[in-house]
Structure 1
Amino acid sequence: MLKQFTLRTQIGRVGIAMMHAFAIGIAACSSPSANTAAPAPVAQTTPTNGTTQGFRQTKVLEGLENPWSMAWLPDGTMLITERPGRLRIVRDGKLDPTAIAGVPEVLATGQGGLLDVSVHPRFSENRWIYLTYAHGTRDSNRTRLARATFDGKALRDVRVIFEVAQAKSGGQHFGSRILWLPDNTMLVAIGDGGNPPVQLGSELIREQAQNLQSRLGKIVRLNDDGSIPSDNPFAANANADSAIWSYGHRNIQGLAFDPGAKRVWSTEHGSRGGDELNLIAAGQNYGWPVVTHSQEYFGGEISQERSRPGMVDPKTVWTPAKAPSGLTFYTGDRFPGWQGNLFAGGLVSQDVRRIELDQAGNVRSQQSIKIGQRVRDVRQSPDGLLYILTDASNGQLIRLEPTGG
């Protein structure tokens, strides 16, 4: 196609790779030892309801190599993934120096590696945990989802229960966040495969986000064994992959659930701006790359359309890019002034964005909580505190704690 030929001739593979590496700031070094630090100075925010919420940041530990995700077991033990391929365990704020055995082999290149970790809602009964990761070679790879039994020290009976059918090249856009719904099905975000000039067949690979027969650029919904629920929105469509829950996504790295309103939220990376916060509904098209606020990395518009009938508009757009990664909906009682807020991490912005919503799900206000490092994940712990992972060769686990006021 002429359009694709023009894009490829404007800039070569090396130029794109250099620009993209600069944008995401990937670094890889050895992992230092863990330690703790004293609490940071107290800060506060004032929600629009007038309640002042005081808080401070405490570094719980460091020495994590490019951590990507965290999850808690019922006994309070924390699991943390490191992108190079290790699953770590934290007990009482201390990082076990020995990684958990049994993790499947991962492709650790670019944005790929060991990515999300999630614990089954009935873990106490079945001992199941789930991992997403990049699998294959740099020239032929895909996102995989595996389930394993965790015995407290190692993973057993590791099984790949879902994967992207189409192999892609390069180390970009694996997506990979996992979110459990109240019916014990899970949503899994899958990236679109990468930036130009990466292709699949004769098209730029990002066009797969609009292809209902492809899992690239989608959120899929699965049962806990990886099978596909019969009530998925495209289950009766012979021309669509029945796993698809929503489509038209670029690279989602934040998924969160509002249990009160029964809403699913996502944060999605744009290209040179155009990062999105979306309210996700089953069967809907979120536009990428037909409708977008993003720009090409080498300059110029991807699309002149910002909205189109039949495609869902984002609830907010971040330009310049904040590179959103990690998302949680706060329901705890430790921060009363923050109940019902979204917290979105930012890699480029090096902050956590506190987002206030109205009852209809519209954004009322945003406030930045400065972290000073690339934020890869933000989660609410079972005891109602907020934890943050920073993406660095000496990555940190940081806790937000309430103060009086």
Structure 2
Amino acid sequence: MKSLTAFLLLPLSLFAEDTPDYSEMKVDKLFETLCSGCHGKDLSGGQGGSLIDGEWKHGATEAEIRKSIAEGNPQLGMTPFSTVLDDNQIRSLVIYIREKEKEALAKGIDFPKPEPGKVTQTAHEDYTIETVADDGLKLPWALAFLPDGRKLVTERGGQLRIIGADGKLDPQPVKGTPEVIAHGQGGLLEVAVHPGYESNGWVYLAFSDGWWEKGAGKEGKDGKKADKPQTITAVVRGRIKDHEWVDQEWIWKTDKPFYTDAGVHFGTRIVFNKGYVYFIVGERGGMMESQDLNNPKGKIYRLFDDGREPEDNPFVGTEGAIKGIWTYGHRNPQGLDIDPRDGSIYSTEHGPRGGDELNWIRKGLNYGWPVITYGMNYNGTPITGITEKEGMEQPVTYWVPSIATCGLDFYTGDRFPEWKNDLFAGALAQKEVRRLRIKDHKVVEEEVILKDLGRVRDVTDGPDGYLYVILNDPDSILRLAPAE
């Protein structure tokens, strides 16, 4: 039996003048110093019981765990830690305990790891895996389908590749695609085919646009300063003719002052709906810039599919605000799709350490980053002590520990009828695909259907009704087919 009220009452010396500076401690050190004496260094128990067995005596919600830590229960021997820790540090302890609990519980679960030639069973559908491409790709990022049976694949290094209708990967990339500044997490990212492709031929690309500043970087051993990149996410459209990118038009790019040398958080994904194009620009490590409507970072945009700004966008009348913004307060969303049943838009967003989110994207709303979050810094220090605030949206669901969400797709095919309209989310860190059933904008069912084949970069259903998965490490594209 587990209870956070089972901490031993700490000795008075803990509150003396020689008390350690807890404000400088990372969360693992905080736990070791304050909690491990009763609950063990591995959280598996002692005088205070286990914190990782999934059994909670005094409440398992985030708020209840936080209250137990903050207020304690002297009658049961637990110190009120609010006397030595601030709200942010207490929040970090909650995240840390949740991380360890989920990791321990996952060890007892037999997740499906598909093997070629074998049937993989899941709750509603059984499938086999087939290899679409596993040779010649380097860091594939996104996949899109052309009406003639060909497939388009982006490589983060800057190449747009074609898989022929015969299933063979063309050894030569498409010529003339826009110049990409590939550094950090940036590169050639999203590819999307316009719904009216058969009549207009438009293909959309999202990528890290920018330039290299000569001699603005760090000094090397030779005494010369390296060049420094300046980038941000941009979107173009063009056509592919005779294996060449032509007719390029800019859909969206920002002004040079907003470009940055940061190597993180580019976003992005693209979806179309009723003549509009929606896309993501990550906050590029700028954190509070995502809250600034005058700043392009950390936003989801809505434009006409030719790049014009709709007059009914939410901030058109706000002084100084960027007119294309649809929602704000985002960190690094890398999943975006539309529910075919009602047109609702959903996005998956990378949190920091903990706090990956699935969000229901609605006009003009603020999704809170970094004012509220269910995560903490990667080094175990707190970001904020609050997870909700008036005027800021709560996620539909969130994941602690982080699964590193990437790629998102509502299944609309017929080959897996029991998966119809379910949402599939890829996960880089956890190397998995999760199936989520959405009802009334809530997750009513969640299941891991694939795990440990590689880092899942994208997941999407094709016009043939199969489910496709892009992997990194190893770089490959797989297809899930119904088991006979």
Cα distance in structure 2, aligned partners of 1:219 and 1:402: 35
**Deviation per residue, 1:27-80 (Å, 9 max, x gap):** xxxxxxxxxxx934211212xxxxx31111112211210000010111121000
> In the alignment, which residue of structure 2 is the partner of 1:340?
421
Amino acid in structure 1 at the alignment position of 2:119: V
Secondary structure at the aligned position of 1:209 is classed as helix
Does residue 93 of structure 1 match 2:93? no
Q: Which has the higher strand share?
A: 1
Amino acid in structure 2 at the alignment position of 1:79: L
Amino acid in structure 2 at the alignment position of 1:73: L
Which protein has the larger Cα radius of gyration, Structure 1 or Structure 2? Answer: 2
Mapped contact 2:430–2:452 kept (Cα < 8 A): no
Secondary structure at the aligned position of 1:110 is classed as coil
Mapped contact 2:432–2:456 kept (Cα < 8 A): yes
Shift of 1:400: 0.5
Match of 1:130 among 194, 200, 204: 204
Residues 10, 142 of structure 1: alpha-carbon distance in 2 compared, 3 angstrom cutoff: farther
Does residue 398 of structure 1 match 2:474? no
Cα distance in structure 2, aligned partners of 1:78 and 1:139: 31
Mapped contact 1:329–1:342 kept (Cα < 8 A): yes
> In the alignment, which residue of structure 1 is the partner of 2:132?
60
Does residue 110 of structure 1 match 2:184? yes
Cα distance in structure 2, aligned partners of 1:41 and 1:231: 52
Give the structure-2-normalised TM-score: 0.71
Amino acid in structure 1 at the alignment position of 2:280: A
> In the alignment, which residue of structure 2 is the partner of 1:190?
281
Matches within 5 A, 1:6-405: 39-46=116-123, 52-63=124-135, 64-91=137-164, 92-136=166-210, 137=212, 138-165=228-255, 166-181=258-273, 183-194=274-285, 205-358=286-439, 360-368=440-448, 369-392=450-473, 394-404=474-484
Amino acid in structure 1 at the alignment position of 2:465: G
**Deviation per residue, 1:343-381 (Å, 9 max, x gap):** 0001001010111122x1101121112142001000110
Mapped contact 1:150–1:156 kept (Cα < 8 A): yes
Cα distance in structure 1, aligned partners of 2:467 and 2:326: 29
**Deviation per residue, 1:185-234 (Å, 9 max, x gap):** 1111110112xxxxxxxxxx211110011110000011122111111111
Secondary structure at the aligned position of 1:208 is classed as helix
Amino acid in structure 2 at the alignment position of 1:108: A
Amino acid in structure 2 at the alignment position of 1:59: T
Mapped contact 1:378–1:386 kept (Cα < 8 A): yes
Cα distance in structure 2, aligned partners of 1:286 and 1:225: 27
Cα distance in structure 2, aligned partners of 1:39 and 1:180: 35
Structure 1 residue runs without a partner (length 5+): 1-8, 12-37, 47-51, 195-204
The count of aligned residue pairs is: 352
Shift of 1:157: 2.1
Which stretch shifts more, 378-387 or 134-143?
Answer: 134-143
Shift of 1:144: 1.1
Secondary structure at the aligned position of 1:94 is classed as coil
Secondary structure at the aligned position of 2:290 is classed as helix
Dislocated runs of 4+, deviation >6 Å = none
Cα distance in structure 1, aligned partners of 2:378 and 2:425: 24
Q: Which has the higher helix share?
A: 2
Cα distance in structure 1, aligned partners of 2:268 and 2:336: 10
Shift of 1:145: 0.7
Secondary structure at the aligned position of 1:288 is classed as coil
